[in-house]
Amino acid sequence: MYEFVRGPLALIAFIIFFAGSIYRIAYMLKGAKKDKIVFSHMSWKHSLASLVHWLIPFNNQYMRRRPIFTVVTFAFHICLVIGPLLLLGHVMLIQESWNISWWTLSETLVDWMTVVVIAGAAFFLYRRLSDPVVKNVTDSSDYILLAITVLPFITGFVAYHQLFAYKTMLIIHILAGEIMLIAIPFTRLSHMLFFAFTRTYYGSESGLVRHSKDW
């Protein structure tokens, strides 16, 4: 079982993730072309300005007004992406398979980052259940997406600390990660892919066409 999820299934998940992402971005670009105005409204300068104001914490008015949410969402997303990418165990697996490797963070640090992701997910879950606006627009898909996102981290944490059934946990962890990879292009987790595009388009339209700012 371990051999299967670690080997062929992982390869399939990576292929679906990369090919799916390329397909979805291509589909989006095709749609943007059909929209006719999108590309002519794009501008590098205003795109960059928009990214700078929305990718740096507290660099726009709204983030300053919601300090708790800002801290949580940045911590969550940074740890979510960086943690798994720079984990020694992951890099070693990739080196074994394809003989490529990169720099890694200390295991303790990644362990803490995992805790941050789990805590962040708990915060988002609490918000979904308690904030009337969010609750009203939440359906099962939102819970499923949150679960898909956080499961690899919970299982990874349990497996790393060998809390119980290490071998089984490890298999579940790998499976959870593969499900997440496959889900990214084809669910609303694709905001990971589209963020840069929606952000820069709105920034461009605000700046180039409407001579204003979007932050």
Partner 1 sequence: MKPTVVKRDLVEDYAIDEGVKKLTPERIEKVVNDVIDNETAGRLWTYLNTCIHCGLCAEACQWYISNDRDVSYAPVTKVKDTIWPMIEKKGKVDAEFIKRAAVISFTECSVCRRCGMYCPFGIDIAYMLLMVRRICARLDMVPLYLQDTVHSHAATMNQMWVKPDEWIDTLQWQEEEAQGYVPTSRIPLEKEGAEIMYSVIGPEPKFLAQLLGNISVIMKVADQDWTMPAYAGWDNSNMAMYSGDFEVMARVERLHHETAQRLKVKKIVMGECGHAFRGAEYDGPTWLGWMSPPIPLIHAIEFYEELLRTGRIKIAKKIEGPVTVQDPCNVVRNRGLGDKLRYIMNAVCEDFVDVSPNKRFNYCCNAGGGVINCGPPWKKKRVEGNRIKAEQLKRTGAHTVVTPCHNCHSGIEDIVDTFKLGMHVKFFSELLIEAMDIPANLKA
Interacting residues toward partner 1 by CB under 8 A: 24, 28-38, 40, 50, 54, 61-62, 65-66, 69, 73, 131-134, 136-139, 142, 145, 188, 190-191, 194-195, 197-203, 205, 209-215
Give which of 53, 76, 89 is closest to 166, Cα–Cα.
89
Dihedral of the alpha carbons of 141, 188, 5, 154, in degrees to the nearest 10: -70
DSSP three-state, residue 210: coil
CB of 40 to partner 1, least distance (A): 6
CB of 118 to partner 1, least distance (A): 18
Give the nearer residue to partner 1 in terms of CB position, either 109 or 208. 208
CB of 179 to partner 1, least distance (A): 18
DSSP label at 37? S
DSSP label at 58? T
Q: Which helix (H) or strand (E) holds 119?
A: helix 107-130
CB of 134 to partner 1, least distance (A): 4
Q: How far is CA 214 from CA 40, 109, 127, 156, in A?
A: 18, 35, 25, 38
Copy the structure tokens of residue 6: 């670690």
